[in-house]
Structure 1
Amino acid sequence: MATAAPSSRLSLSSVGINTSGSEGYYKSNLDLVLKENKQLKQRLDQLEKENRGLKKAVYDLSVRHGACIEQLGRTAKPFDIDNIINPESSSSSSSLLPEILLPETVHHHVPDHHGLQKVGLTGVAGSKPKRKADSRQFYHSFDLKGHTGPVYAAQFCRLNNLLASGSFDQSVRIWDVQTQREVQCFQEHQQNVADVDWSNDGTLLLSGGFDHCVKEWDLAAGKVVHSYSELQGFIQAVRFNPADNDVFLAGSTSKNIYVLDRRVHRSGGVTMLLSGDAKMSALVVCRNGIACLSGDSHGAMKLWDLRTRACVETLFNEEGHKPITSLSTSAPPDAANEQGVHMAVNSSDNVLRVYDRFCITDHPQLRLGSLQLVHAINGTRTKNWPIKSSLFQGHDYQQAVRRRWPKQNDGHPTSGDYRPRSPELISFQDPTVHDALLLATGSADNYAYIFDVSGPSGTAELVQRLEGHGDRVCGATFHPIDPILATCSADFLVKIWTPRHVTD
């Protein structure tokens, strides 16, 4: 037992020496591992950069392939690099992609809590008989290039070939879509431009931005006429008053709607302040100028009386109260129009809703007319980005509706969600862009979508998925009169689409 203690002390001493050596060994190896980790990260960044380059090359090849096929007058599926690299895997992978541009597309309908049918975007793979090209479809005409940041807003002038676009590069650009050229570039904003709007005569343009400012541009003079900077919050929507273009409205994240008059020089031009309880993201102004409808971040649609400065009615777009990002109508609502117009609402819940009979009545009091939800279109992803949509009503739409969806069948009146009892009643002709009510929307999945919402409740039809943008499509806007569509994207491009008859 007496010899045990020295032996134990010797063992501890030895362990101490070995531990010190181990610390040095691990430290040197840690430095080596960190160095290798840094090299691997650099290599990973290089591979990701090469991968982005390859994706761009594949996209360019796809566009060229589609253009060649189109020039040859043939119908073909999009360019598939997987089919070239590994033909055996193409059959399995292709079934995962929805063929929305092809006639074999089908639409799955899922009832929602309103009793409507949500139109999905799922396609079905497999060979199908060839069908005649849909005359409601749009085809890519050209790109408008010049912006150096995401293009978030675009609007056609009603009276001419001009298109205005606002971008996160802080510029407002005017394009002539006939000559495909940039006409003017205004760079007075200090932050992102979120919305633009034309006056009735096309001589003035409004732009609202994140710099808390609304600017008024004179197209003839080519300069800013006035800058309304005494506002609060990000300006997300600007609209002229259709009844008086000296008056315009601006919706802000400060939860206010500013009513401004360009003839008033005091108080920064603000003549009225409508205070809400949520961030204002979208505006629709009544044609006679007595009221406006707002969409906000609480999912509410509020009707405001511009004479009394009061909110007279509130409707929620859906039960979850998700933010509304866009309100668009097939025509400006009119208090004298009891028939009403259609209205489309984009929301962060990834459901695109279409309302019928949107009108504003003033007798005996100001209120919304019989606003009815007729379509709930599911599948256009937003990923919480503010996506915008647009409605186009063909000049033969009203006549086509009376022929295709008669209100009486066999002498018996139908109620509400009517539809013909006989297929012969709707087979008089294939629908065209001129006798349809079309809805175009952007999405966060780099596509724009076109739906036919001409029919009764639950009959919305996916007509086309527009491909070609390299990043999320922030919005889609139709020309007010002509069947021309512009899509603006975070890829810095504005694409112009037009319908064209294509045979088999």
Structure 2
Amino acid sequence: MDSNSENYYKNHLKTISKENKILKKKFDQFEKENIDLKRSIFELSYHYNNLLFQFESSGKKYQPIHQGEIDKFFIKEHSDHSFNFSSQLNNQENEDQSKDKGHFTFLDELRGHTGAVYTTKFSYCGKFLASCSYDQTVRIWRDSNNEPIILKGDHKQMILDIQWTRDSNYILSGGYDRQLTLFNLTEPEEYETYLLPENALIQSIEFHPEQQNIFFSGCSNKMVYVLDKRKHDKNRGSIVSIIKNDSVVNTMKAFKNYSSLVIGDSKGILKFFDLRKMNEPLNSIQSSDRPISYIGSSNDYFDLRRSRHEKKERFDRTLIAVNSFDNILRIYQQPKMKLITSFIGHTNKNWPIKNSIFVGKDSYFHSNSKTSTISSDSDSKINEKTLVATGSSDHKIYIFEIIENSQNSIYQVIEGHNSIVYSATFHPYEPILATSSDDSSIKLWGVKESKKGQEFFSSISQSISIK
């Protein structure tokens, strides 16, 4: 009887195991079909808008905007939401998590976009925040008493990525209409538009770290286009070079101190190119077996702050944070791309989720330069930390502390959005975090105890040079 019972259970377990494998196979198949379906929707949307664009333009070329049309270029929009941080610092949201010094609490909400906000980026000077959206606009958010400025351009589809130049005078935008638009914020009487070849849906853009006339565009057609605004050819436009990849280029990051461009693709591979000779990759790393959605870096602003006398070994502490569709956030250290830790908890699968790294001025990974605009003993705890924040499809923001060889050190989980959080962006110099979501909102978070948000933004009274 016991033997028969044991055989029964063994056979039953085998049957369950077999059924489980079949279900898993079907589930994986459905997931693949789901991804293909989403891709098809994007492609159909692109082709529809491309045909509509060709019909409407009737062969007309893009022309720079003239001085008399400046009101069309910068559209002021009324907003009831301002950077009134002093009234928000005692907000009950996330109160339990913010009791400890160094934790982030809600500061303010920026409303105005009418579609999902895919990317937010602080300017290198730290005074302005730019955002781009499904609503085909780029917006500049300034200080606490000013309305946002909308940069309309000629985009006919959603804008997926934006980048500032290092002098904070230009913004580049790229979208699913194959257009790159370069906005000059010091002379707004004109802007420049660059149209990429057919099927080149723009996934990611990046400026050359030393020559801001040169920029890169990673696209769905497995190409990285290198453009130089100073050059123009009747057949290729401003495209001066093309890097061919074997899969969709989802994200890129350029590094000044290593003179390199890193791309992350849909096969989960990181590829490294020499900016001086980009024919073949210098190196490649299989970071994941699923697509990479974003490459973040602790070096985004540090190359502006390093002292010329700084010890060279500090350059080796540059961190790279990689989001992947396998729901793992991996942290590498340059130049050898050593995997120092990885994080789980957030959900990244199938969504273009972005991350950002904050390096406290007293932390191990800091460059030793002291450029913080506000110093206070009360914020010493946060300035001893190296943090990475990421969006998530479960509507939350996850902040992890980067400690070498320490797995999944969750620093804080923030709830505040009503849909997918696409982007999390730290301020260049201060512990201030901007997040954007599919719910069309941008939210700002800061360290409550030091009141950095209130003090920092109240000190920014001058507006950008747009009248």
CA distance in 2 between counterparts of 1:246 and 1:236 reads 20
Q: Match of 2:263? A: 294
Contact 2:250 2:266 in 1 (8 A): yes
Is 1:327 the counterpart of 2:300? The answer is no
What secondary structure does 1:311 align onto? coil
CA distance in 1 between counterparts of 2:267 and 2:167 reads 35
Is 1:213 the counterpart of 2:190? The answer is no
* Cα deviation code 1:53-98 (max 9, x no counterpart): xxxxxxxxxxxxxx99974999966xxxxxxxxxxxxxxxxxxxxx
Q: Match of 1:121? A: none
Q: Name which of 333, 347, 353 aligns with 2:330.
A: 353
Contact 2:180 2:194 in 1 (8 A): yes
Q: Structure 1 stretch 306-315 or stretch 156-165: which is displaced more?
A: 306-315
Alignment of 1:184-223 (within 5 A): 184-222=150-188
Contact 1:143 1:495 in 2 (8 A): yes
Q: Match of 2:384? A: 435
Q: Name which of 393, 401, 412 aligns with 1:444.
A: 393
Identify if the C-alpha distance between structure 1 residues 231 and 485 changes in structure 2 by more than 3 Å, giving closer, same or farther: farther
Displacement of 1:315 in angstroms is 0.5
Displacement of 1:289 in angstroms is 7.7
Which stretches in structure 1 are left out of the alignment for 5+ residues? 1-66, 78-100, 103-132, 360-369, 403-428
Amino acid in the other structure paired with 1:199: T
Contact 2:93 2:105 in 1 (8 A): no
* Cα deviation code 1:423-446 (max 9, x no counterpart): xxxxxx997221211101000001
What secondary structure does 2:227 align onto? strand
Task: Report % sequence identity.
Answer: 32
Q: Match of 1:80? A: none
Amino acid in the other structure paired with 2:149: V
CA distance in 2 between counterparts of 1:384 and 1:236 reads 14
Identify if the C-alpha distance between structure 1 residues 188 and 68 changes in structure 2 by more than 3 Å, giving closer, same or farther: closer
Is 1:313 the counterpart of 2:262? The answer is no
Question: Normalised by the size of structure 2, how large is the TM-score?
Answer: 0.68
RMSD: 2.9
Contact 2:324 2:349 in 1 (8 A): no
Amino acid in the other structure paired with 1:344: A
Displacement of 1:183 in angstroms is 2.7
CA distance in 1 between counterparts of 2:231 and 2:250 reads 25
CA distance in 1 between counterparts of 2:412 and 2:114 reads 28
Contact 1:186 1:223 in 2 (8 A): no
Amino acid in the other structure paired with 2:317: G
Alignment of 1:82-481 (within 5 A): 101=97, 133-179=99-145, 181-222=147-188, 225-232=191-198, 233-266=200-233, 267-287=236-256, 290-309=259-278, 310-318=280-288, 321-332=289-300, 339-356=316-333, 358-359=334-335, 370-398=336-364, 432-453=381-402, 455-481=403-429
CA distance in 2 between counterparts of 1:470 and 1:289 reads 40
Displacement of 1:135 in angstroms is 2.2
Contact 1:216 1:224 in 2 (8 A): no
Q: Match of 1:413? A: none
- Of the two, which has the highest radius of gyration? 1
What secondary structure does 2:281 align onto? strand
Amino acid in the other structure paired with 1:268: G
CA distance in 1 between counterparts of 2:136 and 2:91 reads 41
Displacement of 1:398 in angstroms is 3.0
What secondary structure does 1:339 align onto? helix
What secondary structure does 2:196 align onto? coil
Identify if the C-alpha distance between structure 1 residues 277 and 177 changes in structure 2 by more than 3 Å, giving closer, same or farther: farther
Contact 1:144 1:180 in 2 (8 A): no
Amino acid in the other structure paired with 1:373: L
Displacement of 1:216 in angstroms is 0.3
* Cα deviation code 1:266-305 (max 9, x no counterpart): 2221111110101111111120584200000000000112
What secondary structure does 1:398 align onto? coil
Q: How many equivalent pairs are there?
A: 343
CA distance in 2 between counterparts of 1:211 and 1:74 reads 38
* Cα deviation code 1:221-276 (max 9, x no counterpart): 33652111033421111111111111111111111111111111222211111101
Identify if the C-alpha distance between structure 1 residues 72 and 249 changes in structure 2 by more than 3 Å, giving closer, same or farther: closer
Contact 2:390 2:399 in 1 (8 A): yes
CA distance in 2 between counterparts of 1:430 and 1:289 reads 32
CA distance in 1 between counterparts of 2:209 and 2:344 reads 33
Contact 1:244 1:289 in 2 (8 A): no
Contact 1:161 1:176 in 2 (8 A): yes
CA distance in 2 between counterparts of 1:276 and 1:73 reads 48
Amino acid in the other structure paired with 1:388: K
